[in-house]
Amino acid sequence: MDNVTQDTKNTVLHGTAVVPGIRYAKAVWIKPRPKLPQAGAQVDEAQREAEYERFVAAADTVAERLSSRGERAVGAASEVLNATAGLVRDRGWRKAVKKNTTAGHPADYAVVAATTKFISMFEAAGGIMAERVTDLRDIRDRTIAEIRGEDEPGLPEVEGEVVLFADDLSPADTAALDTTQFTALVTELGGPTSHTAIIARQLNVPCIVAVGSDLNKIAAGEMVLVDGSEGSIEIGADAEDAKRQVAESKALAEKVALWRGPAQTSDGHRVQLLANVQDGKAAVTAAETEAEGIGLFRTEMCFLSATSEPSVEEQAKVYTKVLEAFPDSKVVVRSLDAGSDKPVAFATLADEMNPALGVRGLRIARANEGLLIRQLDAIAKAAADLGRGEDTPTWVMAPMVATAREAKWFAGLCAERGLTAGAMIEVPAAALMADKIMPHLDFVSIGTNDLTQYAMAADRMSPQLAYLTDPWQPAVLRLIKMTCDEGKRTDTPVGVCGEAAADPLLACVLTGLGVNSLSAASTALAAVGAQLAEVDLETCVRAAEAALNAEGAIAAREAVREIIPLPQA
């Protein structure tokens, strides 16, 4: 197995690292979900109405419990709890349950059948919708437990500090977490964009996802050493050594909290740290951090629920909100990256066999150039209305560029509107053809999420393939090197805006390869800045060489950790 290493004494499991931090505590498992009923039992006709009322009473109790937790929580946690409560109150779902009780099914089975129908619909929609399937299973299980008078599934009562283990955590469980007790989270499933990951980041609790079924070998009560930056879970660690690592990790976290930009290596080599945002709200939050600007504005995320294309004026308003948050700094706006895991109703082709390899990103605009032109007009309008000019650059980049011809066409449309044009390097062909693509552009930004998915031929949403969709894969680093080498030769700025930029150790490798800017979730930037401040450029270059020459992702990370120790607290 790729995710288990073993020596005589210790077992080490590996998953996808989501939130850094080292913790050493007893493992506890989430309380089991109720056993699902099978079809078959029939309720007398006279009792069917009462059976539905039994469901309504249980669902109302579950919804109220979630709402009152939502009132006590803050930020994303509160939003998640209220959204989950909203699902329990959803009229469509309740109507589907009613149909089933009216047909004679007992309340618990009626809930299962109704939810299964919605799960299939969400899974068929794919992408972000499919990730919400965990929410549906969660409301199903809570409601069934309530109907039967069983304990609510989810977080156990615990004493002292523990590490929480689960197959997958429901949003409601994660949102209700008391992180003084649950000091780290480890899940068998889930991905870096799952709710578990999003809330773990907000709570800043060390978190590892997608460990795989080997996680079940860890019994409740066992002491585990969890390293959220390496993505490792160790059983049998030496207690004294583990406690020392935890103390160092906590001291480091304090140091990171005190870090101030702008980012540079210990010998003064500057690396621009920028924020990834999806709307005005995230941009405002980013402006409160050390982010020097925005390196990736995912415009498609603003239109996931739009059923028709917003007008140029409407779009300009949305973009203005983001630009306003950084009135004096660089903002990189990405043109619509609709399709695949981000279905945008007015821009996505239905029923493709293989949407990740289909008509997504810039490819949509080949058959619908007007869509891209109107978006560029809206970006240009928003920038002009705010009086942004040379000192406050508004850059625009296209997703999924694969050929020089596409780059030239996009750059031409940008030039007609006075916009600075760039491209994402996220299709391996673009990295391989960087010498032909770059001459058309003012900058490029490497999207390591997709570059890894396509280089490794591994679906980025698949928890089973997380060991392949790891940007530490030397194959991916070699493509990044090709891009950086060409950037240096042609004096074209090369940024990275995929999740790789959020990994402090990998950020040193990227800097060594010649990346000029790193763009990530704004909450991740301080840890990156603090790590860069500890190393000089020559060490970054050596780290990059070691990673490029490693035989796999885990070996690359280990080789670099030998060269670059954790920052000293």
Least Å distance between CB 125 and ligand PEP? 18
Q: Which does 59 bind (CB under 5 to 8 A by kind): Mg ion, ligand PEP, none?
A: none
Residues that bind Mg ion (CB under 5 A): 426, 447, 450
Tell me the C-alpha to C-alpha distance, in Å, between residue 553 and each of 16, 213, 427, 470, 565.
12, 20, 20, 7, 18
User: Which CB atom, from 190 or from 447, has the smaller least distance to ligand PEP?
Assistant: 447
Least Å distance between CB 498 and ligand PEP? 3
User: Which CB atom, from 106 or from 428, has the smaller least distance to ligand PEP?
Assistant: 428
Q: Which residues are annotated as a binding site for phosphoenolpyruvate?
A: 298, 334, 449-450, 460
Q: Where are the alpha helices (DSSP H) in 225-275?
A: 239-258
What residues are annotated to the active site? 195, 497
Least Å distance between CB 153 and Mg ion? 35
- As a residue count, the chain comes to 569
Q: Which does 141 bind (CB under 5 to 8 A by kind): ligand PEP, Mg ion, none?
A: none
Integer Cα distance of 211 and 171 in angstroms: 18
Nearest CA among 515, 466, 474, 524 for reference residue 201: 524
Residues that bind ligand PEP (CB under 6 A): 296, 298, 337, 426, 447-450, 497-498
DSSP string, 432-484: HTHHHHGGG-SEEEE-HHHHHHHHTT--TT-GGGTTTS-TT-HHHHHHHHHHH
Q: How many CB atoms lie within 10 A of CB 29?
A: 17
| Residue 379, SS3 per DSSP | helix
Q: Which does 309 bind (CB under 5 to 8 A by kind): ligand PEP, Mg ion, none?
A: none
User: Which CB atom, from 201 or from 342, has the smaller least distance to Mg ion?
Assistant: 342
Least Å distance between CB 479 and ligand PEP? 12
Residue 512 is encoded by which pair of tokens?
Answer: 């060594």
Q: Which residues are annotated as a binding site?
A: 298, 334, 426, 449-450, 460
Q: Which residues are annotated as a binding site for Mg(2+)?
A: 426, 450
Least Å distance between CB 317 and ligand PEP? 22
Q: CA 566 from chain center: how many Å?
A: 24
Tell me the C-alpha to C-alpha distance, in Å, between residue 93 and each of 142, 147, 400.
14, 16, 37
Q: Which does 209 bind (CB under 5 to 8 A by kind): Mg ion, ligand PEP, none?
A: none
User: Which CB atom, from 173 or from 341, has the smaller least distance to Mg ion?
Assistant: 341
Residue 270's beta-bridge partner residues? 264
Q: Which does 448 bind (CB under 5 to 8 A by kind): ligand PEP, Mg ion, none?
A: ligand PEP
* Residues 338 and 356: beta-carbon distance below 8 Å: no
User: Which CB atom, from 112 or from 496, has the smaller least distance to ligand PEP?
Assistant: 496
Q: What distance separates the 2 farthest-apart alpha carbons in the chain?
A: 81
